[in-house]
């Protein structure tokens, strides 16, 4: 997996990540809002995604798995992350995975487009 830490302070990447989250959740009929303040993007999105994950797990596991497929997070990745984060709830671990995967998608898309321009 690509190291995402160099991108965590880039407002353009963080804004694009928020747009990606909004798009993916919107396609499942869930609303996520972003203030545009890239100083706390992770916390802002985390606090909005977490209740959606909790609700999906309780009320509509099929929709939860559709969302994971759309975002491209496998059951193996979830299981591994849960094992490594014993101090967090399942929903918190999944929410963190979602944010990291969405950021990685944005970074890979940017790197790919830069490579094509050369």
Residue 29 covered by a domain: yes
Structural domains counted in the chain? 1
Residue 1 lies in a domain: no
- Comparing CA positions, the residue from 110, 108, 114, 106 lying closest to residue 17 is 106
Q: Residue 106 sits in which domain range?
A: 9-117
Contact present, 48 and 64 (Cβ < 8 Å): no
- pLDDT at position 33 is 96
Helices (runs of H) and strands (runs of E) counted in the chain: 5, 0
89 domain residue, yes or no: yes
Report whether 50 contacts 63 (CB < 8 A).
no
What average pLDDT does range 94-116 have in this prediction?
Answer: 88
The rounded distance, in Å, linking the Cα atoms of 68 and 77 is 10
Say what the pTM is: 0.90
Spell out the residues 6+ positions from residue 55 whose beta carbon is closer than 8 angstroms to its own.
Answer: none
Phi/psi for 115 (5° steps) reads: -65, -35
> Would you say residue 36 lies in a domain?
yes
When pLDDT is averaged across residues 6-13 and rounded to a whole number, the result is 88
pLDDT in the model for residue 118: 44
85 found inside a domain: yes
pLDDT for residue 116: 56
Average pLDDT for 32-61:
95
Q: What is the pLDDT of residues 55-66, one digit of tens each?
A: 999 999 999 999
**pLDDT on residue 2:** 61
Q: Residue 1: is its pLDDT beyond 60?
A: no
């Amino acid at each position: 997996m690509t190291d995402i830490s160099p991108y965590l302070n880039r407002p353009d990447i963080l804004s694009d990540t928020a747009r990606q989250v909004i798009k993916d959740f919107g396609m499942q009929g869930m609303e996520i809002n972003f203030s545009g303040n890239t100083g706390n993007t992770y916390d802002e999105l985390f606090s909005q995604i977490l209740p959606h994950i909790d609700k999906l797990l309780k009320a509509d596991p099929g929709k939860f798995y559709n969302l994971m497929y759309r975002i491209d997070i496998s059951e193996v990745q979830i299981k591994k992350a849960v094992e490594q984060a014993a101090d967090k709830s399942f929903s918190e671990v999944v929410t963190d995975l979602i944010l990291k995967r969405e950021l990685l998608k944005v970074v890979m898309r940017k790197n790919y487009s830069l490579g094509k321009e050369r």
